[in-house]
Amino acid sequence: MKGFDNPLDLPVATMAARVRDADDPLTASELVETSLLRIEALDPAIHAFLCTTPDLARAQAEAVDTAVAEGRDPGPLAGVPLAVKDNIAVPGVPLTCASKILGGYVPPTWATSVKRAVDAGACIVGKTNLDEFAMGSSTENSAFGATRNPFDTSRVPGGSSGGSAAAVAAGMAPLALGSDTGGSIRQPAALCGIVGLKPTYGRVSRNGLVAFASSLDQVGPMARSAADARALLEAIEGTDAADATTRRMSEVARGPQTGLDGLRVGWAREFDVRDVPGGAPTQDVVDGVRTLLEDGGATSVDLSLPLVEASIPVYYIVAPAEASSNLARYDGVRYGQRTADAETLQQLYARTRDEGFGEEVKRRILIGTFALSSGYADAYYKRAMAARGALRVAFQEAFETCDVILSATTPTPAFAIGEKAGDPLAMYLCDVLTVAANLAGIPAVSIPCGRSAEGLPVGLQLWGPAGSEGRLLDIAEDLADATGHRYLAPSLETGRTA
């Protein structure tokens, strides 16, 4: 997988440009066939995909190639294979959310984000695995089996967008769509050594994304580089009449500095993971980036964001509360699984949900229902929402003193499959560095920044004010140039880093 001997390994912009060039022999159909062959060869060991869509991908590729032959521009993503997380709707393709309760459901309409990517020329090669209803940090909660990390198949890829991250990391698709409610794009991107961006809330339509926590959910790109992530973001962003929370973004300019010289970098002590079990090696990598930045002319700004320390408890009140409402629609009446053992309507609801939902989903529904129940809503949900508002203000004030905040993305590299499966609190703490961005509604991106002693990827997270995605991706590209840390394909024959 080294170099560009295979056209699927090209940067996305180059790949699409060659497809759009009628005089170049590279076609969308060739890219799609290469992607499908890679999935066939590699996915049995990884289980990134819940299903592939060869007929759809080939039809979309043929349409791209026809447009090129007729002198029409098929779009900036012409012929680029795209993997889609299986909580995002593609008409005519089963939508499972990795849950038994949606068995047999096929959506009739497009998710806006997917349709915009296809309109830009992308070709959908399959739907990827996830933690059930996007509730998890390891992709072990899928009703259809765990996804494995391409860098070490005994370890998790992260979650909940673990299938999308693994598909990109293994080279099965150059681009993927994920969703991020509390870190579900960034955390698996870090563990799989790729780039993952959670956009500003409202930048990308949620229409067609199955709701987990509606005020936190956001669709975003997963790719091998910041430039590739930017290409997908530009295709899918924008207001949408079908999603009233979308809004036109006021772009945050980068400023007068070029490269890293003059960049004001915020370092919040609350993001230091040295005292987290197993976190010291990760913090060493991040501290090395700080030294490199300072040597390159960046200014370090020490910050204190004490409310960040409350982000995990706030998140695990707000998100389950919204989930308990959103998941009430799965009752066995209109679509999906329906119990065969019910004599009353109450039994139909209860037994369908008991049979269809996994343990983690049930746990979060119960937590959320309790937090909203009479006598407890004031003590839990309303206080959590007040803390969320204060956290948003704290970030706004912090960004008055710095251009970007940097931290690790995860406290540790990928852990072994099964290591945390029996300890929900340990699993929740995997998101300790990511949930605050969702609560505040701000963008954040994870990029590769080194390797652990075992050769596992370590991710660096860049946080910015609302509307600063362009600036964050610029800085990400500069950091990749300065550190030399970029996507490096795994050696799947051994399950270890090449």
Catalytic residues, which ones? 85, 160, 184
β-strand partners of 219? 179
CB 367 within 8 A of CB 131: no
Q: Kindly write down the DSSP assignment for every residue of 414-440, as one continuous string.
A: PPBTTSSTT-HHHHHGGGTTTHHHHHH
Bridge partner residues of 237 (DSSP):
204
Q: What is the DSSP string of 452-465?
A: -TTS-EEEEEEE--
Cα angle value 470/265/485 (rounded, 5°) = 70
CA distance linking residue 1 with residue 7, whole number of Å: 11
Angle at 77 between CA 130 and CA 238, to 5 degrees: 75
417 is written with which tokens? 């499959």
Place of tokens 């999603």: 243
Instruction: Give the side-chain half-sphere CA count within 13 A for 56.
Output: 21
Q: Tokens 């707000």: give the residue.
A: 318
Q: Which residues contact 268 (CB under 8 A, 6 or more apart)?
A: 303, 304, 305, 308, 398, 405, 407
Biggest CA–CA distance in the chain, Å, is 72
Q: Return the half-sphere exposure (C-beta side, CA atoms, 13 A cut-off) of residue 296.
A: 20
Amino acid at site 53: T
202 Rama class: left (phi>0) / alpha (psi -120 to 50) / beta: left
Residue 463 bridge partners (DSSP)? 405, 444
Token pair, residue 202, equals 């409202």
Token pair belonging to 305 = 């964001």
Backbone Cα Rg of the chain: 22
12 closest CA partner among 165, 175, 123, 166? 175
Is residue 186 within 8 A of residue 444, CB to CB? The reply is: yes
C-beta of residue 312 within 8 angstroms of C-beta of residue 434: no
The residue behind tokens 């072990």 is: 140
